[in-house]
């Protein structure tokens, strides 16, 4: 068992080395710039009737929407970082999840701006209300994440023992499994969506919601990974406070996943409730650990 875990430690260190992380960071930067320029080219090509889509997309109606593409690429990089941070601690991983969902909201704002109608009573139009919900949601979630990270720094330092090392090694094995899943899922989702957009024969008759593309599948997989880590934690800790904290963070991931199946105010409320629930769990855990 120890030899297997040592193998995962070595493999994790090689794949997620500082050199590789810097390389992926640079690739992400250049892909973001290329995606932004390409999106602008497509928007103006459509404006001058240089091509025609079988299915129309509002992301090709306004140059502001071009910001959507680099944000999407950056979000994939953030999910890569989530996989890197997963072995560190449950708290660090869930904090990164909150940051990812906040960036998804910000990205959605750039997609919502071209839809707003300034010629009607602001709250009578669904797209206008959605923009208000998203703006308020981003501000509230941003503040809650600040509080979450603030109280995370106040967590009592846990001494590193042999059991903890084995637990971290087990989580590294899960990260190594999640990496190819991330790559395959992102490629499949992108090809699937582009196939519909460019009129390739497909089961769908309407364009799938781009805000949910890839993230539905990935967060479902992430829930399974979190549950697996939770079950592993039973083997390495018997403290009630840690078990409840870890279980609470799994619930946070489930609430985020549920948000992709909703729209409007319900979507924002689910995301805010996820971050607020995680913050409350962390505060109670801090209090119990300090008391202990």
Torsion of CA 26, 181, 174, 154, to 10 degrees: 50
Secondary structure (DSSP) of 159-198 = PP-HHHHHHHHHHHHHHHHHHHHHHHHHHHHHHHHHHHHT
**Residue % of the chain over a pLDDT of 70:** 87
Those residues with Cβ within 8 angstroms of residue 50's Cβ, 6 or more apart along the chain or in another chain: none
pLDDT greater than 60 at residue 207: no
Q: Is 12 helix (H, G, I), strand (E, B) or coil?
A: helix
Domains of the chain: total: 1
Those residues with Cβ within 8 angstroms of residue 187's Cβ, 6 or more apart along the chain or in another chain: none
pLDDT tens readout for residues 262-275: 888 898 999 999 99
**Mean pLDDT to the nearest integer, 116-139:** 82
Please state at what angle helix 240-259 crosses helix 215-236, rounded to 10 degrees: 170
pTM of the model: 0.84
pLDDT greater than 60 at residue 199: no
CA distance from start to end of the chain: 32
pLDDT greater than 90 at residue 202: no
Those residues with Cβ within 8 angstroms of residue 213's Cβ, 6 or more apart along the chain or in another chain: 189, 190, 192, 193
- 170 with 206: CB under 8 angstroms? no
Torsion of CA 49, 35, 95, 220, to 10 degrees: 60
Query: Whats the size of the chain, residue-wise?
Result: 292
Which residue range forms the structural domain that includes residue 150? 2-291
**Mean pLDDT to the nearest integer, 131-143:** 92
pLDDT tens readout for residues 168-188: 888 888 889 888 888 888 787
Q: Is 146 helix (H, G, I), strand (E, B) or coil?
A: helix
């Amino acid at each position: 068992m120890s030899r297997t875990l040592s193998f995962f430690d070595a493999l994790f260190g090689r794949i997620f080395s500082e050199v590789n992380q810097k390389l992926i960071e640079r690739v992400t930067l250049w892909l973001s710039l290329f995606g932004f320029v390409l999106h602008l080219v497509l928007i103006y090509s459509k404006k001058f009737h240089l091509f025609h889509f079988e299915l129309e997309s509002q992301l090709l109606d306004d140059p502001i929407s071009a910001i959507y593409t680099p944000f999407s690429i950056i979000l994939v990089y953030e999910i890569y970082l989530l996989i890197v941070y997963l072995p560190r601690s449950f708290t660090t991983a869930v904090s990164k999840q909150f940051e990812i969902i906040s960036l998804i909201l910000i990205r959605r704002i750039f997609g919502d701006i071209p839809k707003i109608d300034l010629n009607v009573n602001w709250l009578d139009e669904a797209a206008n209300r959605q923009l208000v919900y998203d703006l308020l949601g981003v501000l509230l979630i941003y503040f809650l994440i600040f509080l979450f990270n603030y109280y995370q720094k106040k967590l009592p330092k846990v001494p590193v023992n042999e059991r903890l090392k084995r637990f971290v090694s087990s989580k590294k094995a899960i990260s190594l499994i999640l990496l190819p899943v991330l790559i395959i899922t992102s490629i499949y989702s992108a090809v699937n969506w582009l196939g519909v957009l460019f009129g390739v024969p497909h089961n769908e008759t309407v364009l799938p919601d781009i805000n949910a593309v890839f993230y539905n599948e990935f967060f479902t997989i992430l829930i399974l990974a979190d549950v697996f880590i939770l079950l592993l934690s039973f083997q390495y800790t018997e403290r009630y406070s840690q078990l409840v904290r870890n279980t609470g963070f799994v619930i946070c991931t489930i609430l985020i996943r549920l948000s992709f199946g909703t729209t409007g105010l319900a979507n924002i409320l689910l995301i805010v409730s996820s971050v607020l629930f995680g913050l409350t769990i962390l505060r109670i855990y801090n209090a119990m650990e300090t008391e202990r």
